[in-house]
A and B are shown apart, each in its own frame.
Chain A
Amino acid sequence: MPCRFGFAYFDIKRRKIKKIVEKLNLGAKLAIMDIKTTSSKIAKKVQAGIAACLLPVFFLYVLLDKPDYKIMNSMASFVVPAAHMVGDGITWPVRVAKTINKNMLVRHGIRSENRELRKKLDELTLEQTSCITLAAENQRLEQSLDIVRSQPQRAVLSRIIYENSSFSSNTFSLDKGETSGIKKNNTVLSKNGFLLGVIAAVGPNWATVRGIRDTGANTPVRVAGSDVLGFLRGRGNAQPVFELFSDQEFSPTKGIMLISVSAGGNLPDGIPIGRIVNAGNGKSVPVSLGAKTMSEAIVLIQK
């Protein structure tokens, strides 16, 4: 029993001692923790103090190193590239994804752009085709316009009051003159539109016309439908002759139409004159004039 008691007693004692020791250990642990937290708090305060001290340093630096900031720039010269290098290493998957996305967008953009460009190309090709047609038409119209420009603005119909058809000359007088706007060198046509001559002299109510048959008249003409030029030389009452061809290989044949050429003069371009009667001697061919009726004449009044 005593042993048992003793055991029990000592057992209880042992437990108590154990508890006390545990309590003491706990206290020590708590004490250690307190020391740790206190030291960490102090360290934090010190760090915060250093950070606070850096503020006036920064302020002074900004004031003193202004405007070059040499220290900061020199620091940045190695900090920034290093940060870039590390940053590039970290962010490469994102940048790769970004680049792929960008390339896909660009590719899509190129495709749609290609489609649009093709459409535009088709439209432009069509436009070009129509432009070529229009240009050709424009050229043709310009040629016509040149004719129109050289054409008189208005025409005056007048009666032939006197005709002087001698051997060598061919002149006639008209009943209208300056009052009707007729001027010297105006072109005179027959009623059927063939060339008669040009105004040689003009008065208030009269005008004298030198006919193309006059010996003094040397009218520049062109073979209709070709570029062969020549001169129609008047021979009075005789038929005028077409000679001095620009093309030596030109072979005159019967029925070829001759038309006027302005040749820088007052004569309008393209007025029909007459037809070649026969081949003649090959160098000088007679021409049958188209102006038949001589009772009336049309005077083309130029600007």
Chain B
Amino acid sequence: MKKIIKILFPFFATLFLWRLSSNIINPNGIFALIPIFYYSIVKEHNEFIPMALIGCFLLDRNFDIVLFWTALFCLLYAAAGLQSVINFSDRRLRSVDIFMIFIGTGISLLSVWSAFLTASFIPILTAMWMFIISAVVYAPLTYMFERIECWTKK
């Protein structure tokens, strides 16, 4: 039972956070990037990588863009695997800094492009809010993931 939970939990967590998107708290289901990042970079589950790609694809659909988050995730995953200077999986607070860089880059690119297209500052403000809320939520959520993982190992 615990083994099944251990395998299925990342999938369900991703879909759960993607599905519960709301305009203020979880805009476009961006919290889904937390389990995607955690289970593919920090505590890598090999069977989860395809799901991470699907999750990024679903996020792209929510953001109404083509292969943006998917490409960014591939870039991060390649950077995490191909270089040995920085260990992405063993940093402070479950690699929150790497996550912030990842999500900050993505959101900044999207917001700057939207601000340019719409000629307004509202996308920038929205992006700031998305970045803040994602960064704040990352630590408790990943802590919960970690606890669940410990529980499934016992």
Interface residues, chain A, with chain B CB atoms under 8 Å away:
43-45, 47-49, 51-52, 54-55, 58-59, 61-62, 69, 72, 75-76, 79-80, 83-84, 86-88, 90-91, 94
Contact = CB atoms under 8 A, between A and B. Distances in A.
Contact of B74 (A51, A75, A79, A80): A51
Nearest to B29: A87
Interface of B: 12, 15-16, 18-20, 44, 46, 49, 54, 57-58, 61, 66-67, 70-71, 73-75, 77-82
Contact of A83 (B54, B71, B75, B78): B54
Contacts of A61: 67
A59 B46 CA distance: 25
SS class, residues of chain A in contact with chain B: helix
B66 A49 contact: no
Given A47-B49, A52-B82, A87-B15, 18 more contacts: A47-B77, A48-B77, A49-B78, A51-B73, A55-B75, A55-B78, A58-B67, A61-B67, A62-B66, A62-B67, A69-B66, A76-B61, A83-B19, A83-B58, A86-B15, A87-B16, A87-B19, A90-B19
A62 B60 CA distance: 13
A79 B54 contact: yes
SS class, residues of chain B in contact with chain A: helix
A81 to B, nearest CB: 11
Given A51-B74, A80-B61, A72 B66 contact: yes
Contact of A48 (B19, B70, B81): B81
A253 B77 CA distance: 115
A240 to B, nearest CB: 87
Contacts of A88: 19
A257 to B, nearest CB: 79
Contacts of B75: 51-52, 55
In the complex, which of the residues B16, B66, B70, B79 has the most CB atoms of chain A within 10 Å of its own CB atom? B66
A55 B71 contact: yes
14 contacts: A45-B81, A47-B77, A47-B81, A48-B81, A52-B82, A54-B71, A55-B78, A58-B67, A58-B71, A83-B15, A83-B54, A87-B16, A90-B16, A94-B20
